[in-house]
Structure 1
Amino acid sequence: MNTLTFAIAALIVDLAVGDPRWLPHPVIGFGKAIAWFERRFRVSGMSPAQERGLGIALVFFLLAVTLIVSFVLLKAAAMLHPIVHVLLSIWLISTTIAVKGLKEAAMQVYDALAAGDLKEARIRVGYIVGRDTDTLPEGEVSRAAVETVAENIVDAFVSPLFYALLAGPYGALLYRATNTLDSMVGYKNDKYRYFGWASARLDDVLNYVPARITGCLLWFVALLSRKLNARESMQAMLRDAAKHPSPNSGIPESAVAGALGIQLGGENRYGGVVSVRARMGEAHRNIVSGDIPLTVGMMYKTAVLIMLLLLILAGWLWWRP
């Protein structure tokens, strides 16, 4: 019941205030720890086996540090007062959720496109995607924003809440540490192919169940909306999700693509190198800037749906004999 209460309160906090910049954020600490470890222990000339072994050590290092620091903080908070412990638990979980932040970042791209400032839109979408954005046309800028919102519905709140329900702030923080590892070193390029292998695989494992829960929630959101196509959403997931190189990202992307009647995926450039991603959904129409707020709306409705389900569960636990 405590972890359920903490998860509900943390989601409310994120939806209301997001991540104020004046407060310290665990993800910044994760990033600094990962960078320090890589600078300190990774040297040139290592064999693939050594790189992979060091990458595994990095995972254990960061998760151990996360667990120890969070335990000390929560123990100290409990010694001060039970209310302090509760408030800190809620805040720590809320830092692993990013619904409001993802919405604001995506809507900044939309606002620039709506104002006719394609150059600014390219800059803003470059903050939230890894692909080259300097020469993207308007439709491709919109596609990039839609794809990152759709994909990150899992990372931004479904997975953190899932692990918060299982293990409170410890579960949420350990998940976010793993997700930060994947975002920093979990690439299949020459630099991180072996060093980031463990980080990428662990992130895939942790997101496996939440990604499939997300697909079901997105389909239900589409079912409740007149503007969205639930049948196409389900068909796209069943037909296209497995084509994605990630075992998880294809599920929310294909669900959103089908619901909107657009096609995601295609050709992207990373550092000037062309990468062709599998196509999700059928192109009943071209992607437009208006698809960005529609996708953000699907994300928020998914968050509200989760909130309602958690409140129903809390009520049942409270009133059961």
Structure 2
Amino acid sequence: MLVALALDAVLGWPKPFFAAIGHPVTWIGALISRLDIWLNLDEVDPGQRRLAGVITALAVTALVGELAWIATWFLPAGWVGVLLGGVLAWPFVAMRSMHDHVAAVERPLAAGDLEHARHEVSMIVGRDPSRLDEAGVARASLESLAENTSDGIVAPVFWGVLLGLPGIAAYKAINTLDSMIGHRTPRHEAFGWASARIDDLVNLIPARLTGLLFALTSNRPKEALATMWRDAGHHRSPNAGWPEAALAAALGIRLSGPRIYGDRVADESWVNEGAPDPTPEDISRGLASYRYAMIALALMVAVSASI
């Protein structure tokens, strides 16, 4: 996992690699899309669609985990095997990508180019960017940073530390299932039910760990811990509220709150209510907090490796 984190921090996932072979998550996504077409049939009742979704979630997770397990058979012993295993785990960590996407929002927003900032934030959130003002764009980018720090880095590394290459690969399969079919839409309400519930389960510990990392590496650890404990349960997600609340308190801003998805207004509670809305400078501060949290994560992994 340390090798994977180091490679991703330095290189990200290089564009020539993506052009040549794509990315393992896109391969998993292609399989999920195919199963969605084959098994999520409009003419069957919701119970059958839910059963088909359970089978899809279990089959995709088992297949990806099994392939990763088979790959470990061919790894040599010693440090060569550790390095090669880290290379195989590398694409399942999105530390550099997350930082770059949020920084791409901060730069035009700080320069006063709201339209460009809206375009960049649309790459990382699902809400309608055309309805967002400067504070809304800043909030959306920081909320994505907090939630995806858990889903994209801490959780895969956590499961990789526990279960090795099969653990990190299976986690990314679960997370990809949730992102693709785990939505409460007419098409996926039943079919994606299992994927959403499994994703909630495997993120229970990592989300709380991510909140702790944000809180303990901040200048306001007591306030961040207290806010996380108080406000995490107000969030629509059983997990995302933990890192969002910790980051909000660490930066002294409010997050979440009402937002627009298409033609639907989601009237959601504020996290760290009473604090001001974020500014472009707060995005920069949030990225600094993210970097400190990732350094702390790497140190935790190093300590666990030495035990």
Per the normalisation by structure 1, the TM-score is 0.89
Contact 1:10 1:94 in 2 (8 A): yes
Distance in 1 (CA, whole Å) between partners of 2:243 and 2:57 is 26
**SS at the partner of 1:43?**
coil
Please name the residue that 1:19 is paired with: 13
CA RMSD, 1 decimal: 1.8
CA contact (8 A) 2:4 2:86 kept: yes
Say which is worse superposed, 183-192 or 245-254, in terms of deviation: 183-192
Partner of 1:69: 67
Q: Using the alignment, how far apart are the partners of 1:269 and 1:283 within structure 2?
A: 21
The structure-2 alpha-carbon separation of the partners of 1:277 and 1:117, relative to structure 1 and needing over 3 Å to count, comes to same
TM-superposed deviation, 1:313: 3.6
How far the C-alpha of 1:156 sits from its partner, in A, is: 1.6
CA–CA separation in structure 1 for the residues paired with 2:56 and 2:305: 37
Cα deviation code 1:259-287 (max 9, x no counterpart) = 11111111211122111222100333231
Paired letter, 2:37? R
Query: Which amino acid is 1:168 matched to?
Result: G
Whole-angstrom CA distance in 2 between matches of 1:232 and 1:188: 34
- Does 1:112 pair with 2:108? yes
Task: Provide closer, same or farther for how the CA distance between residues 252 and 207 of structure 1 changes in structure 2, counting only shifts above 3 A.
Answer: same
User: 1:75 offset after TM fit, Å?
Assistant: 3.5
Aligned counterpart for 2:44 among listed residues 33, 40, 46: 46
Q: Answer whether contact 1:219 1:230 (CA < 8 A) is retained.
A: yes
Gapped regions of structure 2 (runs ≥ 5): none
Shift in Å at residue 90 of structure 1?
0.7
Distance of 1:52 and 1:301 partners within structure 2: 41
C-alpha distance in structure 1 between counterparts of 2:154 and 2:161, whole Å: 11
2:206 alignment partner in structure 1: 210
1:309 aligned residue? 300
Contact 1:232 1:261 (C-alpha < 8 Å) held by counterparts: no
Match of 1:145 in 2: 141
Q: Counterparts of 2:241 and 2:127 in 1: how far apart (Å)? A: 17
Q: Say yes or no: does 1:241 pair with 2:249.
A: no
Greater displacement, 275-284 / 297-306: 275-284
Q: Distance in 2 between matches of 1:51 and 1:88?
A: 40
How many corresponding residue pairs?
303
Distance in 2 separating the partners of 1:192 and 1:12: 37
Report the counterpart of residue 273 of structure 2 in structure 1. 282
2:92 to 96, 100, 103: 96
Deviation at 1:157, TM superposition (A): 1.2
Q: Normalising by the residue count of structure 2, what TM-score does the alignment of the two structures yield?
A: 0.93
The separation in 2 between residues aligned to 1:130 and 1:262, in whole angstroms, is 21
1-structure distance, mates of 2:67, 2:168:
14
Q: Does 1:58 align with 2:52?
A: no
Amino acid at match of 2:222: R
Q: Quote the Cα distance in structure 2 between the aligned partners of 1:279 and 1:194.
A: 29
Alpha-carbon contact 1:52-1:196 (below 8 Å) kept: yes
Q: Give the structure 2 partner of residue 220 of structure 1.
A: 216
Residue in structure 2 matching 1:256, options 244, 247, 265: 247
The structural deviation recorded for 1:95 is 1.3
Q: Which moves more between the two structures, 173-182 or 258-267?
A: 258-267
Alpha-carbon separation, structure 1, partners of 2:291 and 2:134? 24
Identity of counterpart residues, as a percentage? 35
Q: Which amino acid aligns with 1:238?
A: W
| SS of corresponding position for 1:134 | helix
Partner of 2:192: 196
Does structure 2 conserve the Cα–Cα contact (< 8 Å) formed by 1:63 and 1:177? yes
What CA deviation, in whole Å up to 9, does each residue of 1:67-104 have, x standing for no partner? 233234444555xx977754442122221111110000
Judge conservation of contact 1:112–1:118 (CA < 8 Å) in 2. yes
SS in 2 for 1:274: strand
1:219 maps to amino acid: A
- Structure 1 runs of 4+ aligned residues shifted over 2 Å read 21-24, 67-78, 81-88, 229-232, 282-286, 309-315
State the 1:289 CA deviation: 1.0
Distance 1:313 1:43, change over 3 A: closer
Amino acid at match of 1:89: G
1:19, 1:11 → 2: CA distance? 12
Alpha-carbon shift at residue 240 of structure 1 (Å): 0.9
Deviations 1:143-182 (A, max 9, x none): 1001000111111211111111111111000001100011
Structure 1 unaligned runs (5+)?
A: 1-6
| Residue 292 (structure 1) shift | 1.2
